[in-house]
Amino acid sequence: MTDHALRELYQEVILDHSRHPRHYGILDQASHKAEGYNPLCGDKVTVYLKLGADGLVSEIKFEGKGCAISQASASMMVEMLKGRTAAEADKLMQGFLHLVKGEDASDLPEDDRERLEVMGGISEFPMRVKCATLAWHTYKNAVEEGKNAVEEGAT
């Protein structure tokens, strides 16, 4: 039982993402960026975005340091957000937040739900949910506040 929960949490897909994060690094042409930080564990993540018309995520990358869960979650997030409209991305994020808290995520499109389901194991580990949501909150922050961050960084 215990082992089952652990194996669910640390599935191969998750470990693979954490060891080989996708779209990792700085995005030079970013229009938005934000830094996320979890003061409890010291996990850090920076999300870089290039937003097109009506908020289309045309490019997205991340970099950071942290536990397997936070790194895998960030890696899966950037992979899935690329090419989404603002509305689609919001919906995906809401669904993800429901999923990791063990709540109803049935409003997610089926293929998204299938891909994100590997993160569902986290709901058995309430102390770790913040690790999984750090990147997503940082993404949201980048969209809402991150334009200035890029401009300030450029000066």
Partner 1 sequence: MNAPQRIAASFNVEKARADFEILSRTVYGKPLVYLDSGASAQKPRVVLDTMRDFAQSEYANVHRGVHFLSAAATDRYEAARRTVQKFLHAAHEEEIIFTKGGTEAINLVSYSYLAPLTQPGDEIVLSVMEHHSNIVPWHFLRERAGAVLKWVDVGDDGSLDIEALDAAITKKTKLVAVTHMSNVLGTVTPLKEIVARAHAKGVPVLADGCQGAVHEIVDVQALDVDFYAVTGHKLYGPTGIGTLYAKRAHLKTMRPFNGGGEMIREVMKDRISYADAPARFEAGTPPIIETVGLATALDYLSGFDRAAVAAHEHDLLTYAREQVRQFNWLRVIGDAPGKGAILSFEADGMHAHDLATILDREGVAVRAGHHCAQVLMERFGVASTSRASFALYNTRADVDALVAGLAKARGILA
Binding residues for partner 1, rule: CB under 8 A, are 1-3, 5-7, 9-10, 15, 19, 40-44, 65-69, 125, 127-128, 131
Instruction: Tell the smallest beta-carbon distance from residue 2 to partner 1 (Å).
Output: 5
Rank residues 19 and 103 by Cβ distance to partner 1 and give the closer one: 19
Rank residues 65 and 104 by Cβ distance to partner 1 and give the closer one: 65
Which contiguous run of DSSP H or E holds residue 103? none
| Alpha helices, H only, 10-119 | 12-19, 68-81, 86-100, 110-116
Instruction: Tell the smallest beta-carbon distance from residue 77 to partner 1 (Å).
Output: 18
Distance from C-alpha of 69 to C-alpha of 89, rounded to nearest angstrom: 20
HSE at residue 101, side-chain half, CA atoms within 13 A, is 11
Instruction: Tell the smallest beta-carbon distance from residue 9 to partner 1 (Å).
Output: 7
DSSP 42: T
Rank residues 25 and 42 by Cβ distance to partner 1 and give the closer one: 42
